[in-house]
Amino acid sequence: QFTWEHSNLEVNKPKNRYANVIAYDHSRVILLPIEGIVGSDYINANYIDGYRKQNAYIATQGPLPETFGDFWRMVWEQRSATIVMMTKLEEKSRIKCDQYWPGRGTDTYGMIQVTLLDTIELATFCVRTFSLHKNGSSEKREVRQFQFTAWPDHGVPEYPTPFLAFLRRVKTCNPPDAGPIVVHCRYWRCVQPPSQSCWILRIRGGFLGFSLSAEFPGMLREDQYSFIHDALLEAVACGNTEVPARNLYTYIQKLAQIEVGEHVTGMELEFKRLANSKAHTSRFISANLPCNKFKNRLVNIMPYETTRVCLQPIRGVEGSDYINASFIDGYRQQKAYIATQGPLAETTEDFWRMLWENNSTIVVMLTKLREMGREKCHQYWPAERSARYQYFVVDPMAEYNMPQYILREFKVTDARDGQSRTVRQFQFTDWPEQGVPKSGEGFIDFIGQVHKTKEQFGQDGPISVHCSAGVGRTGVFITLSIVLERMRYEGVVDIFQTVKMLRTQRPAMVQTEDEYQFCYQAALEYLGSFDHYA
């Protein structure tokens, strides 16, 4: 049906990363030819139509060192303002894509000078801003590159939530008058189809248009096709909940109203939409092992196998790698937090082992030891004199009683080699035994103090956060940490998607509607004092 004669010309073959991944003739991007250079109009790239716009995208391979100049020439000639990169440079010590941009300062690629202006690294993607200047031209242009870093080595992401957030960011930042969005991975059929399809399958009044597989047969694998459907289902079901910070008050007022045709408020409906379908038991393999069940404070709150914190196994002790704890991504960093239950007497040694092995020197405690007459957390630290927990000697150094929290400092020593670290525990004491705090101000101050201390003293390890089950108040703390930081840097708020993202990493995060509403309230209070905290 389609031909690829230009890709098969001898002069062009070295420009193809793989011999069997070529550019169709009918839709290939044709560069302006350079006088006297045969084949200078060729690049392994094709136009792809969008939902409402012809040639909305350019799908291309990851540039080779010998095609860097052609790549940047294409970006310039097409007046593209956005590059989407769907691969890491390296995965498992294997090069997946050559770095075609300067690591710092300015590099020249053919006739295009590229200057790196800015790099913002977030948990699941990276944004780089470049200034482009063509030799002999006085014009300068700004181009952004969005690199999605959370695509797995094999298959597709487990959940579409982070990917949809990435797509929204790209779409928001791409100028309406810009040329095609340039999309690439290693070779342009490997990972791009879902990203292009999700844009083409754009939701508008319930109508879906699809053309990619028809235009480029064989472009989608079955798992990618399935991923597109999952992404669309989520996008349709959840809608767009991102709000400019300046409109947050109006948005909350709207959520407080009874929905038309419903008997509940918008807030209740939004919270109900968060409910995950019941996760299959196969997602909790280690948590359900007989040797580990007693280590779970609640039988229905367990870590997913894919995100659980794995301890270093102790030889001959079955289940010694298990603790009820999950890694959680932050705004800028993957695995920025560990969300865990309040330690039991039987798991206290595991808790200290987890802190040590993950270099976690900040602990956030969001419960009292007992509430409503029941144990919520075992006292896992010594009050007056040092105590030993398996390999670790914990020595209390200081305790500071603040109006809304207690700060405790411990010297922790590994008895095996004598290494020591300081661990700081922040216990928030103002959370009521029932419900949520009346005001978010004190909790916002607390979050700020924890992160300030982390920046000042913390190692590279995650902040460990626990309440009793490690999902309710713990979820609120991590949600607000992410939301407030994003508000500062982007000026937008998305409580729904933030909580949804957390729930893909640990079940039931932000457990109740009261807690969910408190996240909105605290974000609004933070906005009111933005200048003070920025």
In the predicted structure, residue 472 carries a pLDDT above the cut 90: yes
> In the predicted model, what is the mean pLDDT of residues 472-492?
97
| R_g over Cα of the chain | 26
Residues 281 and 81: their CA atoms lie apart, in Å, by: 45
pLDDT band at 171 (very low <50, low <70, confident <90, very high): very high
**Residue 190 falls in the annotated catalytic set:** no
Per-residue confidence (pLDDT) for residue 212, from 0 to 100: 43
Per-residue confidence (pLDDT) for residue 195, from 0 to 100: 53
Sheet with 362-365, strands from edge to edge, namely 325-328, 337-340, 463-466, 362-365, 420-428, 405-414, 392-401, 387-389
In the predicted structure, residue 206 carries a pLDDT above the cut 80: no
Per-residue confidence (pLDDT) for residue 152, from 0 to 100: 87
In the predicted structure, residue 416 carries a pLDDT above the cut 80: yes
Per-residue confidence (pLDDT) for residue 93, from 0 to 100: 83
pLDDT band at 52 (very low <50, low <70, confident <90, very high): confident
Question: Nearest to residue 335, comparing CAs of 522, 94, 505?
Answer: 505
**Residue 519 falls in the annotated catalytic set:** no
> In the predicted model, what is the mean pLDDT of residues 302-313?
98
Please, is 202 exposed, middle or buried when counting C-beta atoms within 10 Å of its C-beta (0-12, 13-18, 19+)?
Answer: middle
pLDDT band at 1 (very low <50, low <70, confident <90, very high): confident
pLDDT band at 484 (very low <50, low <70, confident <90, very high): very high
Residues 192 and 86: their CA atoms lie apart, in Å, by: 7
Q: Which of 97, 185, 198, 519 is catalytic?
A: 185
pLDDT band at 187 (very low <50, low <70, confident <90, very high): low
Considering the chain, what percentage of its residues have pLDDT values greater than 90? 79
Per-residue confidence (pLDDT) for residue 459, from 0 to 100: 77
What does the mean pLDDT of the chain come to?
91
> In the predicted model, what is the mean pLDDT of residues 467-473?
98
- Kind plus residue range of the DSSP H or E element containing 130: strand 125-134
pTM: 0.91
Per-residue confidence (pLDDT) for residue 317, from 0 to 100: 97
Per-residue confidence (pLDDT) for residue 209, from 0 to 100: 32
Q: What is the pLDDT of residues 367-411, one digit of tens each?
A: 999 999 999 999 999 999 999 999 999 999 999 999 999 999 999
Per-residue confidence (pLDDT) for residue 531, from 0 to 100: 52
In the predicted structure, residue 201 carries a pLDDT above the cut 50: no
Domains, in order of start, for the chain: 5-240 (3.90.190.10), 266-533 (3.90.190.10)
Q: What is the pLDDT of residues 260-271, one digit of tens each?
A: 888 899 999 999
Per-residue confidence (pLDDT) for residue 27, from 0 to 100: 95
Q: Which of 97, 190, 377, 467 is catalytic?
A: 467
> In the predicted model, what is the mean pLDDT of residues 292-306?
97
43-47, 223-227, 354-358, 404-408: the lowest-pLDDT one = 223-227
Phi and psi dihedrals of 137, rounded to 5?
-115, 145
Non-local (6+) Cβ contacts of 234 within 8 A are 160, 161, 164
Both structure tokens of 324: 């009820």
113-127, 445-459, 460-474: the lowest-pLDDT one = 445-459
1-15, 182-196, 301-315, 458-472: the lowest-pLDDT one = 182-196
pLDDT band at 191 (very low <50, low <70, confident <90, very high): very low
